[in-house]
Chains A and B, each alone.
Chain A
């Protein structure tokens, strides 16, 4: 049945042909580019127009990583305060977070600490977080330097990327890195409860991933 494989691709959301499913949440101030980031990753599309997200939304994307098909359910949240009750309710189910700020917006950067506290409060203890400074294509309007972003990320214990949804810089890398560190946590979690401590030689061991090619935006 040659047609079978073709039909699988058509409808990602009902496809059961994957090894496991990860849930990821994108958070950050309003208008930092969360939705654009997700659209760039899931659909490879970009629109400069700003449309505020209502409450929550999600997209599904299946990726192939380290010999495993991983289905990602990526939740996009509204940055606006008034939706906070809805969005925080979804923290609990997320395995990893992308915490985003806008490098041209000081306020969004200052809010990172608060967002990180939200994660600590509402999410599981091993929540994996990537800090992303979006809009790195707008170098002229930059107000948050890459160094400050990196320092803050080290302080918070997150990994850090500068990215641009518009120019498609580091978008894929961000998601893939997040998937990898969730996989690492998964192996740790399994081996911790496992007297045999065998995980190192089998199973989806993804720790051998080298560090991402470019931690920062090249521009």
Chain B
């Protein structure tokens, strides 16, 4: 499906709606990701985090010994494990803590619906991908090409977006450009191409035809790829997998967390490129501390000064390894994918609920916000310039390309664990997996 049958303004209207939807989805995916991470944590805290052997006479959740006649535990009807009376939720039809949390996550994440839906529509490559996402991708790619022509068009992406459908009527491109466009659109028409495929197409075109001119657009689309890639990184293994795994390893008697994790990631990495690293992030968090707390931000675009004004309000409930007294938090901002330009707030002393109220400004043209993300990370400024990561928030800036009043004003964002660097190659990822599984073994 494409939007070519729509008129220029109509297409713009629809794309705007799709962008709003994407914004919503990214936030939702983030919420789900954290939810699943918490579930994973809960499981980890149970049986397998103890070095003790798994035995029939201990509670599968808290590992407390069970008696033969009294406090002998009972079998959970969800997971078939013997559970002590303290690890049960509900009265008559009780479940163990993990089964309960599993059900709860299934409800809250909407996973139940995805499963139901899959009964009728067998899951395609990416169950989260929607039509809107595809359409946006097309329009993105098309709009990025607009930067390429030798004489840059007076207005950037936005106007071009609407024009891209009827190329023939648009301003004269060089012949080769037109060819390029045609080959592009035909590539993209085969829409089910995954993001990686699209990227390969880009690169091959890049190598084949007009390397010099194409450079910019490749860069841009790479950044676009990064975004999409990172959105696949949000995806923690699907619930059934997670749960199945837990059952399996529960039965394996002495299985340690480490074994579980490694086998898990190898199983996943077969499927998707991002998955392996997503698991490794989840593990690597364990190196340090778990990330909690929230960050208050107000993001506004000031058309007068062409600035993105970010007001860092406050943080609350930060977790700092050195204890509350010694936490010296500050906030660092980047507009991704550009890492070179960063802004920092002042460092607040001895608090896990710092109030900053500082306005930081990025000089950036509004239309360039498209496809960019604001990364706001909270750090503890330790002794000897040692910095400890306390969590981050990623906000897609697409929505600020238009003048949207809804988006102004303060908003609390939950802090998330760090995402892996996109630049890290396979080796680095591998390293991290190994590293974290070592940690888990302890």
Contacts and interface: CB of A to CB of B under 8 A. Distances in A.
Interface of A: 1, 3-4, 7-8, 10-11, 13-14, 16, 19-21, 54-58, 60, 73, 82, 85-86, 89-90, 92-93, 95, 124-126, 186, 189-190, 193-198, 200-204
A48 B279 CA distance: 53
Q: Which of A13, A58, A73 has the most CB of B within 10 A?
A: A13
Contacts of A20: 107-110
B127 to A, nearest CB: 11
Contact of B414 (A16, A92, A189): A16
A57 B18 CA distance: 8
A92 B316 CA distance: 39
B77 A55 contact: no
Nearest to B76: A196
Interface in B402-419: 406-407, 409-412, 414
A194 B23 contact: no
Interface in B1-45: 1, 3, 5-6, 10, 13-14, 17, 20-21, 23-24, 27-28, 30-31
B288 interface: no
A195 B78 contact: yes
Contact of B31 (A8, A16, A204): A16
B108 A86 contact: no
B409 A7 contact: yes
B27 A55 contact: no
B117 A124 contact: yes
Q: 8 closest pairs, A vs B, by CB? A: A196-B77, A198-B93, A89-B131, A55-B14, A124-B117, A54-B13, A202-B90, A20-B108
B155 to A, nearest CB: 22
B24 A190 contact: no
A162 to B, nearest CB: 29
Given A16-B27, A126-B116, A196-B93, A92 B121 contact: yes
Nearest to A200: B93
Contacts of A55: 6, 10, 13-14, 17
Contacts of B93: 196-198, 200-202
Contacts of A58: 17, 20-21
Contacts of B103: 190, 194, 203
Contact of A13 (B20, B95, B110, B130): B20
B412 A4 contact: yes
Interface in B247-300: 296
B89 interface: yes
B405 to A, nearest CB: 10
A10 B404 CA distance: 13
6 contacts: A16-B30, A57-B17, A86-B1, A124-B117, A125-B120, A202-B95
Given A85-B1, A190-B103, A202 B89 contact: yes
Given A73-B24, A203-B103, A11 B407 contact: yes
A93 B130 contact: yes
Contact of A7 (B3, B6, B107, B410): B410
Contacts of A195: 77-78
A21 B13 contact: no
Interface in B227-262: none
Contacts of A8: 412
A13 B30 CA distance: 13
Contacts of B95: 196, 198, 202
A190 B409 contact: no
A19 B314 CA distance: 25
Nearest to B7: A54
Contacts of A189: 112-113, 115-116
Interface of B: 1, 3, 5-6, 10, 13-14, 17, 20-21, 23-24, 27-28, 30-31, 76-78, 89-95, 99-100, 103-104, 106-110, 112-113, 115-117, 119-121, 130-131, 296, 314, 316, 353, 406-407, 409-412, 414
Nearest to A76: B17
B27 A14 contact: yes
A82 B5 contact: yes
A200 B94 CA distance: 11
A215 to B, nearest CB: 27
Contacts of B28: 21
Contacts of B76: 196
Nearest to A195: B77
Contacts of A197: 93
A73 B22 CA distance: 12
B192 to A, nearest CB: 14
B82 to A, nearest CB: 15
Contacts of A193: 115
Contacts of A4: 296, 316, 412
B41 to A, nearest CB: 18
A195 B78 CA distance: 7
Contacts of B21: 58, 73
B107 A203 contact: yes
A21 B410 contact: no
A126 B112 CA distance: 12
Contact of A56 (B5, B14, B121, B314): B14
Contacts of A21: 28, 110
Contacts of A13: 20, 23-24, 27, 406
A13 to B, nearest CB: 5
A19 B32 CA distance: 11
A92 B21 CA distance: 15
A64 B412 CA distance: 20
Contacts of B119: 124-125
Given A186-B107, A194-B78, A201 B115 contact: no
